[in-house]
Structure 1
Amino acid sequence: MHHRTVEELMSRDVVRARPATPFKELVRLLEENDVTAVPVVDELDRPMGVVSEADLLRKSADQADPTGRTPIPHLEAWERAKAEGSRAEELMSAPAVCARPEWTVVEAARLMESQNVKRLPVVDDADRLLGIVSRGDLLRVFLRRDDAIREEITGDVLRRTLGLDPRDVTAEVRDGRVALAGTVEHRSLIPVIEQLCRGVDGVVSVTAQIAFRTDDARDTGAP
């Protein structure tokens, strides 16, 4: 099975900032390039951190409301430092959370989730910037056509990986939802089929109406 990698999905034309890039220049970079964040790189093009719109908006949040309707919010020390910052190195979220180009969508998505970030700079073995991948980039795998998903499941998963006859188990795909039906020899094979199908790029969900001839669940520990 082929899983799309970060390298296939990332944006390669990356807008960069330097540690000394001033606040207004950062705002201009975001506006002119229609992006919501830029990586901050050192002299070797290695990501040091990321400056996002949220980082820059702390400047406004720390200012007094001219109408007097909302009080100045309480900021933690690190938030105050960012609000008072004037250069990228003072404003950025650091250190940069980075991905590798060979990672799968699953690996990148899990890192985004665990680190609560919306984008990942992509770096090579020397930690130099290659590109950037966003949540939206990762979601593009779900635009994959249903017929392509079905072809991979029937050809790669069922036939080549598991050695099943296509007549034993069939797969129907609609809007990324996979419906499996048929009969297999051993009950323990059913969860394996389901798990492998869930791992196919573009699959949203898997349901299985698969019968079995031999109940080997007790011996294998299958549910």
Structure 2
Amino acid sequence: MPVVDADNKILGIVTDGDLMHRAKAGTERPYSWWLRVLTGDAQLATDYVKSHAVKVKDIMTRDVVTAAPETPLHEIAMLLEENQIKRVPIVNEQGQLVGIVSRANLLQAIASAKPAFEASLPDSIIKRKLLDELRKQPWAHTFNLNATVQNGIVDLWGFAPSVAERAAIRVAAEARATRRKRPCWRS
């Protein structure tokens, strides 16, 4: 939950992580004697405030990762991943909160997205793009692999040492094919 001031400028955010270790819920973080020695009194005091406070200002995360309304979704996904957070508040140029993007919002956008490129590529281009992608991958031993493309359908055959490698090659092919066909591995 974002915390804002009277001008709708973000002051902090209360996350489920901020509420995890609460004394009244019996989830206060226990410390062993050696961890208390290593952690230091300041960290212990900070944890005490988080677990016993009754005001939002005492438990909220103040260093909030935010994004602008124009931020591309892939950049927001990177913010979520790099900062290990579940939500990114969206703020305008004045620093005012205008929305929030969650992991669920990104999944919804991905699930409902139409392919960016609907037009069929020539078979030779599909094959070249597939092989170029596979040559970049250290696990894809392209000398053991052959591919043909006909009417947008990629047909693969050869040898891949593991199920994981076969799956990765299939995914690479599906990402480039314009039509889908059940994979058939031949060796």
The TM-score bracket by the shorter chain reads: 0.5 to 0.7
Give 1:189 deviation, angstroms: 9.5
Task: Calculate percent identity across the aligned residue pairs.
Answer: 26
**Counterpart AA for 1:140:** Q
Give 1:141 deviation, angstroms: 2.2
Q: Is the 8 A contact 2:130 2:173 kept in 1?
A: no
Q: CA RMSD in A?
A: 3.3
Q: Which of 111, 118, 126 is the matching residue for 1:154?
A: 118
Q: 1:126 to 1:87 in 2, by over 3 A?
A: same
| Residue 135 (structure 1) aligned with residue 103 (structure 2) | yes
Counterpart position of 1:44: 7
TM-score by length of 2: 0.56
The alignment partner of 2:21 has SS state of helix
Counterpart position of 2:64: 96
**Counterpart AA for 1:102:** E
1:108-155 per-residue CA deviation (whole Å, 9 max, x = no partner) reads 01001111110011100011000111100011123226xx32xx3233
Q: 1:131 to 1:189 in 2, by over 3 A?
A: same
2:20 and 2:92 map into 1 onto residues whose CA distance is 31
Q: 1:61 to 1:86 in 2, by over 3 A?
A: closer
Give 1:184 deviation, angstroms: 3.2
Q: 1:167 to 1:61 in 2, by over 3 A?
A: same
Tell me which protein shows more strand as a share of its residues.
Answer: 1
The alignment partner of 2:54 has SS state of coil
Unpaired segments ≥5 residues, structure 2: 37-42, 134-170, 177-187
Q: Is the 8 A contact 1:51 1:92 kept in 2?
A: yes
Q: Is the 8 A contact 1:41 1:49 kept in 2?
A: yes
Unpaired segments ≥5 residues, structure 1: 1-37, 66-70, 156-165, 169-181, 193-204, 211-223
1:101 and 1:209 map into 2 onto residues whose CA distance is 29
Q: Is the 8 A contact 1:98 1:123 kept in 2?
A: yes
Q: Is the 8 A contact 1:61 1:72 kept in 2?
A: no
1:72 and 1:185 map into 2 onto residues whose CA distance is 55
Give 1:99 deviation, angstroms: 1.4
1:183-205 per-residue CA deviation (whole Å, 9 max, x = no partner) reads 0399589648xxxxxxxxxxxx5
What is the aligned residue count?
128
**Counterpart AA for 1:52:** T
2:125 and 2:48 map into 1 onto residues whose CA distance is 62
Q: Is the 8 A contact 2:9 2:97 kept in 1?
A: yes
Q: Is the 8 A contact 2:130 2:172 kept in 1?
A: no
Q: Which of 78, 81, 85 is the matching residue for 1:117?
A: 85
